[in-house]
Structures are given as C-alpha cells and as structure tokens.
Amino acid sequence: MGNTQIHQRPIGRRITPQRAQFRRLAESADIGTVTRAQLAVLAQSLTCTGLINGTESHLLVALINTVPAESFDRSGRPIVFKSNQQLAFEIGRSVGRVSRMLSSLFDAGLITMQDSGNYKRYPIRNGDGEITDGCGIDLRILIVRYAELDELVRQVRAQKKAADAALRRYRGALRNARYALSAAARLSEDSSSRIGARIDRVSNIVGIAGKASSRVLRRATDLLEWLIERMMQLPRRSAEAQETQNMTCPYVENGMHKQITTPYSFDESNQERRSANAEQLSSKAGSASKWAFEESLRRGRSEINQPRRLPQAVVALQDVLRAAPALKTYGFAPSSWADLARAVPLMCRLAGISEDARARAVEQMGEQQAAVAVAVTLEKYDRQEVSSPGGYLRAMTDRAAAGELHLARSVFGLAARNCMEVRH
C-alpha cells in the first residue's frame, strides 16, 4: 500500500496582517477610561454605520455584557471565555453562524481573538489569581477605538438628519413650484410650458429623491425656489446684495461701464433672442463695445476659417464668480479651478447643454476656459438672454477655433455690469 499523508489540524483562526495589527493595537488599550455601559451603547449604535449588521451587533452586545463590569477597571482584563456553543444558545443562532460572525467582528476591528491548540477558551492566572492572559475573545480593542467609533456614529447620524431635512425641503419645493406654475396667471402659455419643462428637467436629474445625495437635493431645491421667486416676480434677495455691495469694479474700460446685453421678461425674451448660431441679442443696444465677447458671436460663420490669434488672457476665479452670480443661485460655490471644472457637467445638465457640446468646448478651449465659457452661458441663461445654451456654447467653441473668442473681456464686462446693478 502507498504511503498515507496525515494532514495536521490547523490551530486557531487564520491570521492576516490586518488581524495581527488589531492584536497589537489592543495591547495598547488604557483600561479604565471607558465603562462597560458605554461600550454596550456603542455596540448597539454601530449598525447605522454599516460596519456590522443587527445580528452581529446582538452578538457583540452579548460579549460585552458577559464580561464583569470590574473587568473594565484599571486592573481588569475584558476577555470572554465562553464557547461558541454557549454564545449560540444565548443569541439564538447556530454554532457555525456564531463562528462566522466572530470572524467578521475580528475583521472589522471590533474584537481580537486568541485560540488555543484544542480550540478551548480559558484564562491564565498569576499566583494571586488575577487574569494576566488567556485564550478567548479580547474586547480591549473596543476601548482603544471607542472615540473613533463614537465619532463615526455621530457623523452618520448627522448626515442622516441632514439628508432627511434636504429630502423634505426638496419635496416641498417641487410641490410649491408646480403649484406656483399652475397659479401664475401673468405668464404666457409659452413661458409656462418652458418653465414647466425646466421643473421637469430638475426632477428628472434628481431621479428618485430618496436615493439622491444631500448635495444634489440642496442644489435642486435652491433652483426650484429660485424659479418660484421668478414666477412670483419677487425682487432679488438682499443677502446677495449685502455680499457684493463692497466690491469695486476695476475692469471697466476707460472708467465707463459698457452695456453688453439687455435683460427681458419671460414673455418678451423669445422675440429678443437670436438663433443658436449666435445666441445673442441684436445690436440695438448701441453702447455695446465692439470688442466684447458677444460682438464676436454676432459675426457670420463665413469668418470662422480665418487665422488663429494669440491665446486668451487668463482671468481670475474671483472675476468669474463676480461675473456669474448665477453659480451661487444654482448652488455652486467653487473655491478653485478644479472645483469649477468638476461642476461643469452638472451645470450643463441644469442649462440643457448636451454632452457633445461640452466635450467639444473642452477639446477646443481646455478645461479651464471651457468652464469659464459654461459659467458665462449659465449666467446669460439665468438672465433669460439666451434661449439655447447648447447652441450658444457651440458658437463660442467655433469662435475659439477661429481665434476670435474674447472670454476675458466678456467676464470683465459682466462683472462690471453686476457691480453697477448692485450699486443702483
């Protein structure tokens, strides 16, 4: 007969680098700083964080309550020596289920374990009868991580509370916006349908409100409330004026403000807007500067193939924020160019700009200049001076390809215009 190979029975649970690190961390516990009651309350609250489920929380609470309260004093040693069979009986689960849950708690860093060769759990005592070590379930790591886990629970609860508040506010704003649309008698049929389509677009972007993030809900709520104010023809909020009333206007050419475009009401806006190729108002505002950004869009497409000019001047982010207060209206508060670039896709979705138009703008202008162009487009769309933001952005992209785009002058002109409006 051939040689038989005898497989030695593995001793204890599999040790991974993470579990070994948890064991080392448990040895640094300052016993006596946390009570058993505090740990029991924490174990019950951990389910909201997603670290453990309800059954694992039940087992962890049973482990904590098994250890005497004095074991969490300075001279104590919070180690559980109960068998899996006894724990399974106490929580009403099978022995195999308890074993798997203990492994999950070990991996989550909520307990550490030291198994003996025969899988028995027992204490090791000194000559005075005090427990110095043992093979069992060690709870000291909970003492080490108590502050971290308790803060995690607080954060999750605060986020949940904020999410619930944002959800309630969004649903109320959506209901109020639809009611205001049906009750707005001053709007024409075309204006009502356009605003209704915009409300539906916001609702489609949010999707299932209960699954949307708090950030998206807050931005959608701000936009809906802004639409309600416009339908009710309310004046602009004074808080915005207070924030910008101290701003100066250093970018006015020759000390004189130059009118760029003229605002129009909902009913008159369609008659005053140009086509998607130019997307600008007619030149009847004679004070508009011939070097302004909108002047380049009013030129024919036959001039697009002219030689490329020098690169555009770079504007500061604060200039863009002054020129486009609609960014704040829609809930955008970029603190860097990277933040503004990350917000461009959502800005395009809110304004109805297609992904292809945005991709072309980024390819032709670069991310930063494209972000400025989208911000300018959003501002003009907010002022109801642009009926097709997608066509407006495509026209800017074509002018950029011809080297005839003057973003800096447009930004400075809008900033000066907003500043003058605040002063008056």
In tens, the pLDDT along 73-98 reads 877 788 888 888 999 999 999 999 99
**pLDDT at res. 143:** 92
Angstrom CA distances, 314 to 102, 139, 400, stand at: 59, 59, 14
* Sign of the dihedral through C-alpha 343, 348, 354, 358: negative
Higher pLDDT, 326 or 247: 326
**How many angstroms separate the CA atoms of 51 and 150, rounded?**
13
Query: Residue 386's closest CA among 347, 352, 341, 342?
Result: 352
- Give pLDDT tens digits for 277-324: 443 333 333 333 333 333 433 443 334 344 344 455 567 888 888 888
Q: What is the pTM of this model?
A: 0.51
pLDDT at 386 over 90: no
Q: Is 248 left (phi over 0), alpha (psi -120 to 50) or beta?
A: beta
- What is the rounded average pLDDT of the residues 332-345? 88
- What pLDDT, on the 0 to 100 scale, is given for residue 127? 63
Collect contacts of 155-161 with beta carbons under 8 A, ≥24 apart: 156/48, 156/49, 157/48, 159/214, 160/48
pLDDT digits (tens, 9 = 90+) for 99-131: 999 999 999 999 998 776 656 776 766 666 666
pLDDT for position 312: 54
Nearest-CA neighbor of 410 among 251, 286, 250, 298?
Answer: 251
Could you report the per-residue pLDDT of 42-59, keeping only the tens digit for each?
Answer: 999 999 999 999 999 999
